[in-house]
Amino acid sequence: MCGVVGYIGGKNAVDVVVNGLKKLEYRGYDSSGVAVVKDGQLQIIRSVGKLKNLEENIEKKHLKSNISIGHTRWATHGKPSEENAHPHADPTKSIVIVHNGIVENYAELKSDLEKEGKEFKSETDTEVIAHLIKKHYKNNLLFAVQESLKEIKGSYALGVICKDEPDKIICARQDAPLIIGIGKGENFLASDIPALLSYTRDMIFLENGDIAELTTSRIIITDIENNVKKREVKNIKWDYVQTEKKGYKHFMLKEIYEQPRTIEDTFMGRIYPDEGRVYIKKIKLSEKDIKNISNVYIVGCGTSYHSGLVSKFFFENFAKIHAEVDIASEFRYREPILNDRTLVMVISQSGETADTLAALRLAKSKGCITLAICNVVGSSMSREADHVLYTHCGPEIGVASTKAFTGQIAAIYILALDWAWRKKSLSKEELKRYLKELWEIPVKIRNFLKESGSVREVAKKFAHKRNFLYLGRNVNYPVALEGALKLKEISYIHAEGYAAGEIKHGPIALIDNDMPVVAIAVKSKIYEKIISNIEEAKARGGTIILIASESDKIALDNEDSVIYVPDCDEFISPILSVIPLQLLSYYVAVMLGCDVDQPRNLAKSVTVE
Ligand code: M6R
């Protein structure tokens, strides 16, 4: 879950690498470092903490070169410290590497190398790779990397430079994302697209097993046996300014406000409400294929798991297909019943989450039809799944996922409606109505965001509380889970999401007058039921923060704090009801002085198990 960047060309490589690392800081931010070759020597600078510490260090040492690799770290082996920060060099300081991933057999390799008299300076698994490359080095860096990787088990996105071959960077990929950026008289590498967008839009997404040699004028991609590989160059359309804060104090706030547009971008050109039709070009499943699907497993982690829980309602209610939802880390280890009539749909913003990727691979190995709902173009899941449906949210930088959640819901909503059309499980009138509901959502969110001052007031009132309960039912139960997750991860406040009907089976014991209860009670067929659950909570002294439909005046009279959202159909309501919860957690975190975009202990892409 670290970020890797490399550059070779006419610019000051250190500037390019540090700029790239800034765009990858979401991947890890406990320490960082850069390495260059200058005047025939390797120079390495590393710092603990945020990237600004590294920048200060670089400035003091006036580091400049035309070749550099850099790294921002999320610790796996060894605590965050300067010694454990990347880049790591071999003892003679002739080879230096940056690495994202895990060397699973590092203990064995380290002990063998120690027996050969090699000394280690860090507690990391990565350092063994530097030692191995040095061991195999005979004036050919590419060959030395190929040979070393034959001994390594695990995952890696690797950047390597050598003082004796200052005209090249070697990089390699196995189960961790790595992209090559193509320039004129310069080339780049990075863990993710945003790091390179200000320099180039032409990118190659390396595949597992790829090892590449970059010079200023050439890119050669081989496998471990030195067979040359051809890879497609993709032109990335993402807007560079999407990776900037654009005047917002935090990426998270900007991304919350972007949602009307990102939802629109996700459905635009794909839905025609007047005809009651959906056209999703990229999914090549025929009517016969869809009718043949017996059941759907929906798999994801964190926020993507929550959007999966919402999606279950779409498959069952629209497409009339049995759907189950699983946490990826559970699914992959519990022998699910899978066959060639099962569709396994993985949901992932990054398309790189290790557990979700493993779930996808398991499904493929069992002959299932696989579909990935991803945001990042060219990500591992989007390439490995049989079918991919992209959300068009643009880069999500804030560690707390917001626009990805609503984009995923919009994408799967239209997918299920498409299947409903093909299976004739909904009437034309129903299809038109559901599509119109989605069509109107962006305007409703825009209107809500304009008048969202009430959320700030509620945040002010409750920011000092140490525990929160979130309640929802049916399609809004996952929204309760999502609201609680948002609060936990950026405010470090304990919060639990529950199906409201379940509280009397235990959690109600927690409620007293110090426990705010956030209840999502928008108009739905079980509206009265959740209102009864709220009454039960109130009767035990709970202070209620109600998310209610605008037209619901009863709620205004009775509840302690109310945030109104525009009225909409209940199936699409999670897209709206989650917005105040995202904002609530945001404002609470800001009021508590928390690091909103880079909360402690977290990283944006969890590419390790
Ligand atoms: O990239 P993915 O959607 O696969 O990521 C899954 C989770 O790691 C992610 O949603 C995480 O829970 C977020 N920090 C939640 O805000």
pLDDT tens digits for 493-529?
A: 999 999 999 988 988 888 888 899 999 999 999 999 9
What is the 349 CA–ligand 1 centroid distance (Å)? 7
pLDDT at 240: 65
pLDDT at 555: 56
Picking from 505, 504, 522, 509, the residue whose alpha carbon sits closest to that of residue 467 is 509
The β-bridge relationship of strands 154-162 and 95-103 is: antiparallel
Instruction: Inform me whether the pLDDT recorded for 452 exceeds 90.
Output: no
Instruction: Confirm or reject: Cβ of 596 under 6 Å from ligand 1.
Output: no
| 601 SS3 class | coil
Say if CB 318 and CB 425 are below 8 A apart. Answer: yes
More confident residue, 556 or 50: 50
Q: Which of 22-26, 121-125, 326-330, 578-582 has the lowest mean pLDDT?
A: 22-26
Among 26, 191, 304, say which to mutate for ligand 1: greatest number of ligand atoms within 8 Å of CB. Answer: 304
Instruction: Confirm or reject: Cβ of 491 under 6 Å from ligand 1.
Output: no
Instruction: Inform me whether the pLDDT recorded for 21 exceeds 70.
Output: yes
Q: How does residue 241 score in pLDDT terms, banded at 50, 70 and 90?
A: low
Write out 461-520 in H/E/C secondary structure. Answer: HHCCCCEEEEEECHHHHHHHHHHHHHHHHHHCCEEEEEEHHHHHHCHHHHCCCCCEEEEE
pLDDT at 604: 77
179-200 confidence digits (pLDDT tens): 999 999 999 999 999 899 999 9
169-182 confidence digits (pLDDT tens): 999 999 888 999 99
Instruction: Inform me whether the pLDDT recorded for 530 exceeds 70.
Output: yes
| 562 SS3 class | strand
Instruction: Inform me whether the pLDDT recorded for 244 exceeds 80.
Output: no
**What does R_g of the chain's alpha carbons equal in angstroms?**
25
pLDDT at 377: 82
| Cα gap 298→362, rounded to integer Å | 13
Percent of the chain's residues with pLDDT above 90: 78
Instruction: Confirm or reject: Cβ of 165 under 6 Å from ligand 1.
Output: no
What is the 300 CA–ligand 1 centroid distance (Å)? 8
The β-bridge relationship of strands 342-348 and 369-374 is: parallel
| Cα gap 396→448, rounded to integer Å | 21
The β-bridge relationship of strands 467-472 and 494-499 is: parallel
What are 465's two structure tokens? Answer: 């509380």
| 600 SS3 class | coil
Instruction: Confirm or reject: Cβ of 350 under 6 Å from ligand 1.
Output: yes
Q: State the DSSP string of 295-357.
A: EEEEEE-HHHHHHHHHHHHHHHHTS--EEEEEEHHHHTTS-----TTEEEEEEESSS--HHHH
pLDDT at 74: 79
| Cα gap 425→571, rounded to integer Å | 16
Phi-psi region of 472 (alpha: psi -120 to 50; beta: other; left: phi over 0): beta
What is the 381 CA–ligand 1 centroid distance (Å)? 14
Q: What is the DSSP letter of 384?
A: H
Instruction: Inform me whether the pLDDT recorded for 553 exceeds 80.
Output: no
pLDDT at 380: 87
Say if CB 210 and CB 229 are below 8 A apart. Answer: yes
Measured between its terminal Cα atoms, the distance across the chain in Å is: 10
How many CA within 13 A on the CB side of residue 608? 21
Helices (H), 346-476: 354-365, 380-384, 403-423, 428-450, 453-462
Instruction: Inform me whether the pLDDT recorded for 372 exceeds 70.
Output: yes
**What is the position in ligand 1's atom list of the atom closest to the CA of 300?**
4
Query: Tell me: domain 251-450, CATH 3.40.50.300, correct?
Result: no
Kindly give, in sequence order, each residue whose CB lies less than 8 Å from that of residue 375, ignoring residues fewer than 6 positions away: 348, 349, 350, 351, 390, 391, 392, 393, 396, 404, 407
Q: What is the DSSP letter of 87?
A: P
As a whole number, mean pLDDT of residues 423-433 equals 96
Instruction: Confirm or reject: Cβ of 399 under 6 Å from ligand 1.
Output: yes
User: Which amino acid is present at 476?
Assistant: N
pLDDT at 558: 56
As a whole number, mean pLDDT of residues 244-264 equals 92
Helices (H), 116-192: 127-136, 141-149
pLDDT at 556: 52
Omega before 87 within 30 of 0, i.e. cis: yes
| Cα gap 263→399, rounded to integer Å | 19
Say if CB 216 and CB 8 are below 8 A apart. Answer: yes
pLDDT at 76: 72
**What is the position in ligand 1's atom list of the atom closest to the CA of 303?**
10
pLDDT at 78: 76
376-414 confidence digits (pLDDT tens): 888 889 989 999 999 999 889 899 999 999 999 999 999
Picking from 178, 4, 2, 156, the residue whose alpha carbon sits closest to that of residue 74 is 2
Q: What is the pTM of this model?
A: 0.81
Among 399, 401, 490, say which to mutate for ligand 1: greatest number of ligand atoms within 8 Å of CB. Answer: 401
Instruction: Confirm or reject: Cβ of 301 under 6 Å from ligand 1.
Output: yes
Instruction: Inform me whether the pLDDT recorded for 560 exceeds 90.
Output: no
224-234 confidence digits (pLDDT tens): 999 999 999 99
Say if CB 55 and CB 88 are below 8 A apart. Answer: no
Q: How far is CA 71 from CA 101, 179, 206, 540, in A?
A: 12, 14, 18, 52
What is the 372 CA–ligand 1 centroid distance (Å)? 15
| 553 SS3 class | helix
For the chain, domain boundaries: 3-243, 251-450, 453-591
Q: How far is CA 375 from CA 238, 262, 281, 304, 396, in A?
A: 11, 11, 17, 11, 9
Catalytic residues: 2, 604
pLDDT at 559: 56
| Cα gap 410→425, rounded to integer Å | 19
Instruction: Kindly report the average pLDDT of the chain as a whole number.
Output: 93
The correct CATH number of 453-591 out of 3.40.50.11540, 3.40.30.10, 3.40.50.10490, 1.10.40.60 is: 3.40.50.10490
Instruction: Confirm or reject: Cβ of 303 under 6 Å from ligand 1.
Output: yes
What is the 348 CA–ligand 1 centroid distance (Å)? 7
301-331 confidence digits (pLDDT tens): 999 999 999 999 999 999 999 999 999 999 9
Instruction: Inform me whether the pLDDT recorded for 81 exceeds 90.
Output: no
Instruction: Inform me whether the pLDDT recorded for 557 exceeds 70.
Output: no
| 237 SS3 class | coil
User: Which amino acid is present at 499?
Assistant: A
**Do 3-243 and 251-450 share a fold?**
no
Instruction: Inform me whether the pLDDT recorded for 470 exceeds 80.
Output: yes
pLDDT at 234: 92
As a whole number, mean pLDDT of residues 22-37 equals 88
Burial of 126 from C-beta contacts in 10 A (0-12 / 13-18 / 19+): buried
Q: State the DSSP string of 172-229.
A: EEESS--EEEE-SS-EEEESSGGGTTTT-SEEEE--TT-EEEE-SS-EEEE-TT--B-
Angle of helix 477-491 versus helix 573-591 axis, rounded to 10? 20
Query: Tell me: domain 3-243, CATH 3.60.20.10, correct?
Result: yes
